[in-house]
Amino acid sequence: MALMDKIRHLPVRVVTGAYILHAGIDKLQADDDTSKGLHGMASAAFPQLERVPPDRFVRGLAVGEIAVGSALLAPVVPATLAGGALTAFSGALVALYARTPRLRRPGSIWPSPDGRAISKDVWMLGIGVSLMAGGLANRRAKRRAERG
């Protein structure tokens, strides 16, 4: 990837990566009540998670957040790959928002007071898709230039 492309992606990668990395590190210290609360919300939206113990779920979530945040912060990770990781992660959070009725106003996509904190994850989804699209466009342009 050209230097200018890396510089263009730098602000969103650093800000988003640092935020997600910090959230993951914080979750490593989660107490039982926090673990049960996070697990309960996730299990309500994704019933298959009910079989996973709350502490294991939160540890896995923390490791996932640390991995995504680190990928975004590492300049050696291509934008397409970092964007794909962010898209998958934030897509799951947006799905959680969509599957949890109390997070939205009745009959609406707009957040209820309870949903404001998680509704912002749609921005991360947009950032992830943008990073992937930019990385793919750069790859295509490079191939065209190589072919002459």
What is the token pair recorded at 21?
A: 């990395």
Q: What share of the chain is helix, strand, coil (3-state, %, to 5)?
A: 80, 0, 15
| Whole-angstrom distance, CA of residue 136 vs CA of residue 133 | 5
* Tens place of pLDDT per residue across the chain (148 aa): 577 777 888 999 999 999 999 999 999 999 999 999 999 999 999 999 999 999 999 999 999 999 999 999 999 999 999 999 999 999 999 999 999 999 999 999 999 999 998 888 999 999 999 999 988 887 787 788 788 7
Residue-level pLDDT at 13: 96
Say if CB 71 and CB 9 are below 8 A apart.
no
DSSP letter at 108 equals S
Structure confidence at residue 127 (pLDDT): 96
**Given the structure tokens 């994704």, which residue do they identify?**
46
pLDDT at 8: 84
Q: Beta-carbon neighbour count of residue 134 at 10 Å?
A: 18
Q: What pLDDT does residue 146 have? A: 81
Could you tell me the pTM of the whole model?
Answer: 0.88
Give the model's pLDDT for residue 6. Answer: 78
Cα–chain center distance at 71: 11
